[in-house]
Structure 1
Amino acid sequence: MLHLKRVEICAFLCLITPAVCYGDSGLGLPDRELPQDEVIELGRKLFFDRRLSINNTLSCGMCHIPEQGFAQNQLATPVGLEGRVLKRNSPTLLNVGYQRVLFHDGREFSLVNQVWSPLLSKREMGNLSIGMVIKRLREMGGYAAEFEVVLGDIDAVTIGEALAAYQLSLIAGDSPFDRWLYQGDETAVSEEVKSGFYLFKTKGCVSCHLVGKSSSLFTDHEFHNTGLGFERSMKLKPGQRTIRLTDTVTIQTEANFEGEVHNDLGRYEVTGEPGDRWKYRTAGLRNIAVTGPYMHDGSLPSLEAVLGFYAEGGVPNPGLDPLIQPFSLSVRESKDMVEFLKSLTSSWLPELIESAREVEVGDN
């Protein structure tokens, strides 16, 4: 695995001329500078180019689908190269530039490094080496000249920089919730949303999904054991997979119906610390209504199911996080909390989707 020094990554982010700066002007997000448009555009092309996979069938954009919140809604966990099922849910890339660590287990801290994990994974894009990807890109028409103008030679660093630049551009703030809480527009949300936010705070959700005074990412950037990983590993009940048939219809199937069921030890697979077994990164909640199914394994198909899971106190196990405690939740309260979560959807999503679909997909 390629590991760049932190100073190299900082140099990339600081030396490229910023194109846009998003700040705390009521948008609900912290300050963030974006790379210049030419780098973002190059990264966008790579992101949707199937030729980056070993057999020209998969692109980054096929597991992180723009119309599905740059996640994947149809399956609990994506299907990769040659039908191989991945063991974790496809996380949204919206606002990924604000994350301190990446992947559900936090095994990477840099988007520049991170891109090589799916590119080299035998279950995802299947490339045998970094050199194979570099050689293929150099031989494709157009990429060599474009890289030379924007970033220089095609190599492991510049490929990572280009893909990282596009992901950094996927900023999605300015939700109805932001216009209410941070801009003071009392008409931006309904009374149900306001009630749901009150419940969100009083039921203890803010212990992990933090809310700031001027901006909110709705995460503590930490790792927690909710019991879901423990339940699957210990086979306390048959594994379930969620399949979305249409926009409004989902079904549950036994996990073994679709083949191999993966044992997943979460953060432990990175640190080797026994106390980290079945811990996963706290997901941010922005745009949560469009990025289901939920949890690290995609096992909860709806926001209502997530609320019900936490109201029951997760799955009891020796490592269950003490912050997860059962709480009462009426039908009315559940509806209000769902309305609050829906209010976190960005007004910028249509523009991000349209921009993504302007790119010609490379597939031959």
Structure 2
Amino acid sequence: MRHWFLICLIGSLFSQAVGAHAQSHCIADPENWSETALKRSLSAPLGLPPVPHPHDNPPSVGKIKLGRKLFFDRRLSINHTMSCAMCHVPEQGFTNWELSTAIGVEGRSLKRNSPSILNVAHLNVLFHDGRDHALETQFIGPLTARNEMANPSAGHVVALLNNLPDYAQMFENAFQAQASLDRIGMALGAYQRSILAGNSPFDQWYFGGDETAVIADVKRGFQIFTGKGSCSACHLIGDDHALFTDELFHDTGYGQMREGERQNPPTSIPVQVAPGVVHQMDFSKIRSVSAKREADLGRYEVTEDPADRWKFRTPSLRNLTVTPPYMHDGHFSTLSEVIEFYDQGGSQMLGQDPRIRPLGLTRVEKQDLEAFLQSLMSPDLDCLESEARVLPPDSH
């Protein structure tokens, strides 16, 4: 347990240092940040389509303010220690750099990596396995999961909010009513739909026509992405915008490979104890102090259809350089590892999607492909971080 708190402390300090640097270029005004967020959610940053707001939940300043407060409030967990933002850290691309898989209340482990909520407004299926379809309902699972925020019921959270005086006026302003389960979801949905990050160098070049926005390496990498690499078969690019996902579920061979490793663990593993200092540790010692790693069957866990085993949702590639580690369980630390996996044709397991095949990329082609992926970084992230931190989180 002590180790977990140390990791969180170090991660928090690191995030603050990164965030302080990023926010030096964009400081949100406590008085009007929500108006800026509302305007953004009603517009379409270059490279992104307009946000599809639900007809029964149009965005408003009141909802966005309330949603941000809920997102950062640790009181919404059973022991007042966890908030949504502790797994979706604004300074870390609204995900978590320090942990391959998320950690919830009391250090309880999850088996999947925290997905970023950047541009989540455009997704029709949520979570790595697509088990929810709307931001208005997505939050209920994490609130009540024992290894996340561990509340005994959703009603428990509603009752809590109706007994917290600082929320009364905010719900009144947003809905002219007190807290309820649907209104919590509507506020969280409105806030998350304002977290948009487009207008990347790629967008400025490809959709904006600015030939100087990217270097030659990026343009060559784009040709590999759409050609030899066939990446765009699943990471779609449209005529006037690009979400870089087909929102479908595929078996890339990765899930099967990781399950094989789970069932046949190594005798020792490398453990980094300081930058550049790595020791090999007997794996049995790791297992003696940790929870047993769970199997992960992907989409099958939602549908229980055998055809869905090992399938996971295609992630967007936008802002990829600020959302490591990669894959549904955060096993790959760098983009070069991901590129290498797909270049070798995945794990070449039985049932793997036939589009995942050996690519035969050269060293230079891999570098160009990574340069292209790096060009998908939005310049608006520092503003989103500043808005997120415009007020301190609630924790008492």
Structure 1 83/262 Cα, relative in aligned 2: closer, same or farther at 3 Å? same
Tell me: CA distance 1:59–1:247, structure 2 relative to 1, closer, same or farther (3 Å).
farther
1:75 partnered with 2:74: no
Q: Does 1:179 align with 2:211?
A: no
Aligned to 1:23: 44
Residue 134 of structure 1 aligns to a residue whose secondary structure is: helix
Structure 1 residue 238 displacement after superposition: 2.9
Label 1:283 to 1:241 Cα distance change in 2 as closer, same or farther (>3 A): farther
Matches within 5 A, 1:8-47: 19-20=39-40, 21-23=42-44, 27-32=46-51, 35-47=59-71
Deviates more, 1:130-139 or 1:238-247: 238-247
Distance in 2 (CA, whole Å) between partners of 1:225 and 1:162 is: 35
Task: Give, in angstroms, the shift of residue 241 of structure 1.
Answer: 9.5
User: Does the 8 A contact of 1:39 with 1:166 survive in 2?
Assistant: yes
Paired with 1:291 and 1:265, the residues of 2 have a C-alpha distance of 23
Check if 1:306 corresponds to 2:330.
no
Q: Is the 8 A contact 1:179 1:185 kept in 2?
A: yes
Q: CA deviation at 1:53?
A: 0.4
Verify the 8 A CA contact 1:227 1:316 in the aligned structure 2. Answer: yes
For residues 74 and 340 of structure 2, the distance between their equivalents in structure 1, rounded to whole angstroms, comes to 39
2:52, 2:121 within 8 Å by CA — same for their partners in 1? no
- How far off its partner does 1:141 sit? 2.1
Find the aligned partners of 1:204 and 1:286 in 2 and give their Cα distance. 17
RMSD: 2.4
Deviates more, 1:275-284 or 1:250-259: 250-259
Give runs of aligned pairs for residues 119-268 of structure 1, distance below 5 A.
119-151=143-175, 152-202=177-227, 203-235=229-261, 237-238=264-265, 256=287, 258-268=290-300
Shift of 1:93: 0.1
Per-residue CA shift, 1:12-66, capped at 9, x if unaligned?
xxxxxx7442237xx0001126611221111001100100000000000000000
Contact 2:62 2:170 in 1 (8 A): no
Give 1:280's aligned residue.
312
Deviations 1:257-313 (A, max 9, x none): 743201011000111110100100000001011001111111111100000000111
Which residue number corresponds to residue 353 of structure 2? 321
Partners of 1:242 and 1:293 within 8 A in 2: no
8 A contact 2:162–2:178 mirrored in 1: no
Distance in 2, matches of 1:265 and 1:22, equals 38
For residues 109 and 359 of structure 1, the distance between their equivalents in structure 2, rounded to whole angstroms, comes to 30
**Which deviates more from structure 2 when the two are superposed, residues 133-142 or residues 213-222?**
133-142
1:5 paired residue number: none
- Per-residue deviation, 1:325: 0.8
**1:125-175 CA distances to partner (integer Å, 9 max, x unpaired)?**
000001110111111121022102212221110011111111111110010
> 2:200 & 2:84 partners in 1: Cα distance?
26
Residue 128 (structure 2) aligns with: 104
Please give the TM-score of this superposition, normalised by the length of structure 2. Answer: 0.82
Aligned residue for 1:104, secondary structure, equals coil
Tell which deviates more after alignment, 146-155 or 127-136: 146-155
For residue 265 of structure 2, what is the amino acid of its counterpart? P
Q: 1:272 to 1:241 in 2, by over 3 A?
A: farther
Deviations 1:205-239 (A, max 9, x none): 01110111100000011000112211232336538
The structure-2 alpha-carbon separation of the partners of 1:244 and 1:73, relative to structure 1 and needing over 3 Å to count, comes to farther
Query: Structure 1 residues 163 and 233, CA, compared in 2 at 3 Å: closer, same or farther?
Result: same
1:165 counterpart letter in structure 2: A
Amino acid corresponding to residue 47 of structure 1 in structure 2 = F
Aligned equivalents of 1:297 and 1:318: distance in 2? Answer: 21
Instruction: Structure 1 unaligned segments of length 5 or more: list them.
Output: 1-17
Question: Relative to structure 1, is the Cα distance of residues 225 and 172 closer, same or farther in structure 2, using a 3 angstrom cutoff?
Answer: same
Paired amino acid for 1:280: F
Identical counterparts, % of pairs: 47
- Whole-angstrom distance in 2 between the partners of 1:61 and 1:320: 35
Q: Distance in 2 between matches of 1:146 and 1:268?
A: 40
Paired with 2:183 and 2:274, the residues of 1 have a C-alpha distance of: 39
Is the 8 Å Cα contact of residues 60 and 174 (structure 2) preserved in structure 1?
no
Deviation at 1:317, TM superposition (A): 2.0
Distance 2:270 2:104 in 1: 17
Matched residue count: 345
Tell me which residue corresponds to 1:88. 112
Sort the Cα spacing of 1:55 and 1:233 in 2 relative to 1 into closer, same or farther, 3 A.
same
Question: Is the contact between residue 242 and residue 298 of structure 1 (CA under 8 Å) also seen in structure 2?
Answer: no
In structure 2, C-alpha distance between the alignment counterparts of 1:245 and 1:150, rounded to whole Å: 48
Aligned partners of 1:360 and 1:96: how far apart in 2? Answer: 24
Cα distance, 1:33–1:327 mapped onto 2, change above 3 Å: closer
2:395 match: 363
| Distance in 1 separating the partners of 2:325 and 2:371 | 17
Unaligned runs of 5+ in 2: 1-37, 54-58
Q: Distance in 1 between matches of 2:117 and 2:364?
A: 32
Aligned-pair distance for 1:353?
Answer: 0.4
